[in-house]
Structure 1
Amino acid sequence: MSGLSVPTVHLGLRDWDHLVPLMTGLVRVPGFEVRIEARDSTPDVLAEPGLDGGETSFSRYVQARAAGDDRLVGLPAFVMRGFRHRCALVRTDSPLRSFEQLAGARVGLTGWPDSGNTWTRALIRAAGVDLADVTWRVGPLAAGETDKRRLGDRPLPANVSAMKAGESLTGELAAGRLDVILTPFMPPEFFTPDSRFRHLLDDHPAAERAYWSATGFVPGIHLVTLKKEVVEAHPELPATLLAALEQSKRHWLGRRRLLTDTTPWLLHSLTESATVFGDDWMPYGTVRNAAMTAAFCEELHAQGVWPDPIDPAVVLPEAFPEPFPEPSAAAATSAA
């Protein structure tokens, strides 16, 4: 951190649209000058001396906390979260159409300990498939991607192996050497009429709505963290930054609801989302993310990503004022 009178906070975040008001200075953090570097991928906050905090993998953060590593302080602001039913892809000619059918399948994924893939494997487990009955291969979605720790730092199960150099998930799936791939991001050709791939589930939105009804949450993937020494120097920063992140999200939603012509069916999607989820499908706050955090801790242990049960209380130990006040009609109009 730097600055004589107003401390400067340097954060590394991907440019999620709900962060843009904060990134552009439209939303301010009282008492601090926040400078955000837009990143193409999730930064390793601890490895970068120039960062005071940033976007962090939920899985890697939870594992560090479980190991007693408190060098990062997590804010209950999950800037990346989403259902995982949509993340399973097959070839268009595949007979597979459900997670229940994946026993004995050859499944490729973009990273073994990754948060999103952990949530997707949880769906496979919930469908009654033993993860030990699946042959897992870990590698890049497309050939040439090298900027990721895909295997983690812990021993892998015997049925998990890394792809060879030059291989990719899309290439192996197209060639028929994989039956399914799990990916948080769709390959470019998925958006073309002649794509070789489709979703495993014929109606993933219906499955996702059912998941919401059963669990009450949308899975968290990445959260915002701050370095411990920064928090110790400025103990008011976490709560102040969290409030600004909430304000940024609220402003973004107001603008999105006003300017719906950016995507042909955005208005329908926003209306349906409000009907299903209420005013906020991605709530911030420790209490409102407690069930999701506990479920994730349980999955990391059940899947063997972490060897011991994880106490959810160690994950987000900081107390923050909540719930955040619902925006008034005047505030919503102002945001728009």
Structure 2
Amino acid sequence: MGRLALTLACGDYDRTRALEDGSIRPDGIDLTYLRLPVEETFFRMLRHREFDVAEMSLSTYVATLDAETPPFVALPVFTSRMFRHGGIYLNADAGIEKPSDLCGKRVGNPEFQLTAGVWIRGILAEHHGVPLDSVTYVSGGQESPGRIEKGRVETPFRMETAPPDRTLADMLANGEIDALYTPRVPSPFQRRDSRVKRLFPDVVGAERAYFAETGIFPIMHVVVIRRDVYERHRWVAQSLYKAFVAARDDAYGRIYDSSALRFMTPWLIQEIEQARDLLGADYWSYGVRANQHVLATFLRYHHEQGLSRRLREPEAIFAPESLESFVI
């Protein structure tokens, strides 16, 4: 019996590089790694189930669990994590000087169900006095008009759709919306347009303070296995999980090398040391145990925002084979 051939659609990450170049191979699996932009991967996997294994938005995955037969099974592998205080942009003339000033405003969201948006809305509601129902949400394409939700979204909040010929980035700069919650830096801000600014000018300071208060380093993406593949070959969950952990550990070692910087960040080594000091040595942790509070908080936010019908426990959303390991 030969090795099982599987396709994996995933982004371009240091923590998955060893899987892409084949230096780490999952037990019993020949992996074809398709390096794709995250939005394309999510869309193709959700709409057409094109891949055997894929990176997926945590929010999208949790929403799929409401289906009578959920189409995917997730591994507690977090290919993307990111603090999101820096993803809140304002029109400079909107009269917003502090987070609570967002109440009563019109706020753009490229898609309401985006994981970054779930975290931003939850953090603002829980820590900054911006109740979920205190703003009007406007959805649409950030840089190209006409973007639609990848999946059906019904929420109890005031929702509008951007005009079909307008982008949220332009609407923000022109004052047609007061703020924008987004994972991507909007083009007016990239151009240093004075009409657009961030809610938190000291993003790093705000995010460090948030971690010190909560212990949360937000999770953005998980890895999912198509359910039909998982049901035929239950062993692939443990095999893939072990390989992703090994690739992540390989990246830990490679990035902390001061002989020559791997990325074009002048103080990379010092920033890694600062991250370890604040977040701990395993600052990009996988698994449920180390991320119980992070996952429970996200699942609560997701449910409160009307994106999942019931509140789930972290262990219940992952393949059980990936939560246990053999110990000698």
Q: Distance in 2 between matches of 1:95 and 1:77?
A: 41
User: Residue 139 of structure 2 aligns with which residue?
Assistant: 138
Query: Any conservation in 1 of the 2:80–2:219 contact (CA below 8 Å)?
Result: yes
TM-score for the superposition, normalised by structure 1: 0.86
User: Residue 320 of structure 2 aligns with which residue?
Assistant: 318
Q: AA paired with 2:135?
A: V
* CA displacement 1:116-148 (0-9 Å, x = unmatched): 1011000121112222221110111112464x5
The answer for unaligned runs of 5 or more in structure 2 is none
Secondary structure of 2:244's match?
helix
Please show how residues 58-97 of structure 1 align to structure 2 within 5 Å: 58-92=58-92, 95-97=95-97
* CA displacement 1:222-251 (0-9 Å, x = unmatched): 100001222233222111111111121222
User: Residue 331 of structure 1 aligns with which residue?
Assistant: none
The answer for unaligned runs of 5 or more in structure 1 is 326-336
Q: AA paired with 1:19?
A: T
Q: Distance in 2 between matches of 1:94 and 1:213?
A: 30
* CA displacement 1:163-192 (0-9 Å, x = unmatched): 111211110111011111111011345345
Secondary structure of 1:309's match?
coil
User: Residue 268 of structure 1 aligns with which residue?
Assistant: 270
Residue identity over aligned pairs, in percent, reads 28
Query: Any conservation in 2 of the 1:286–1:319 contact (CA below 8 Å)?
Result: no
Q: Distance in 2 between matches of 1:277 and 1:322?
A: 24
Query: Any conservation in 1 of the 2:113–2:153 contact (CA below 8 Å)?
Result: no
* CA displacement 1:266-287 (0-9 Å, x = unmatched): 2232121111112222211122
Pair 1:234–1:123, CA change in 2 (3 A)? same
Secondary structure of 1:221's match?
strand
Please show how residues 89-168 of structure 1 align to structure 2 within 5 Å: 89-92=89-92, 95-126=95-126, 127-144=128-145, 146=147, 149=149, 152-168=151-167
Pair 1:104–1:281, CA change in 2 (3 A)? same
User: Residue 220 of structure 1 aligns with which residue?
Assistant: 219
Secondary structure of 1:207's match?
helix
How far does residue 67 in structure 1 lie from its aligned partner after superposition? 4.1
Pair 1:301–1:194, CA change in 2 (3 A)? closer
Q: Distance in 2 between matches of 1:145 and 1:239?
A: 40
Secondary structure of 2:70's match?
coil
How far does residue 292 in structure 1 lie from its aligned partner after superposition? 1.7
Q: Distance in 1 between matches of 2:167 and 2:302?
A: 25
Q: AA paired with 1:264?
A: P
How far does residue 161 in structure 1 lie from its aligned partner after superposition? 1.0
Q: Distance in 2 between matches of 1:92 and 1:250?
A: 43
Q: AA paired with 2:216?
A: F
How far does residue 217 in structure 1 lie from its aligned partner after superposition? 2.4
How far does residue 85 in structure 1 lie from its aligned partner after superposition? 0.7
Q: Distance in 2 between matches of 1:98 and 1:85?
A: 13
* CA displacement 1:197-236 (0-9 Å, x = unmatched): 3321021212212222233221111100001222233222
Query: Any conservation in 2 of the 1:285–1:323 contact (CA below 8 Å)?
Result: no
TM-score for the superposition, normalised by structure 2: 0.88
User: Residue 15 of structure 1 aligns with which residue?
Assistant: 12
Secondary structure of 1:79's match?
strand
Pair 1:144–1:17, CA change in 2 (3 A)? farther
Please show how residues 218-257 of structure 1 align to structure 2 within 5 Å: 218-257=217-256
In the alignment, is residue 37 of structure 1 matched against residue 34 of structure 2? yes
How far does residue 94 in structure 1 lie from its aligned partner after superposition? 5.5
Q: Distance in 2 between matches of 1:86 and 1:278?
A: 22
Give the number of aligned pairs: 320
User: Residue 281 of structure 2 aligns with which residue?
Assistant: 279
Q: Distance in 1 between matches of 2:323 and 2:301?
A: 28
Q: AA paired with 1:74?
A: A
How far does residue 313 in structure 1 lie from its aligned partner after superposition? 4.1
Please report the RMSD computed on the Cα atoms of aligned residues, expressed in angstroms.
2.5
Q: AA paired with 1:79?
A: T
Which deviates the most, 201-210 or 182-191?
Answer: 182-191
Query: Any conservation in 1 of the 2:15–2:248 contact (CA below 8 Å)?
Result: yes
Pair 1:66–1:272, CA change in 2 (3 A)? same
Query: Any conservation in 2 of the 1:72–1:227 contact (CA below 8 Å)?
Result: yes
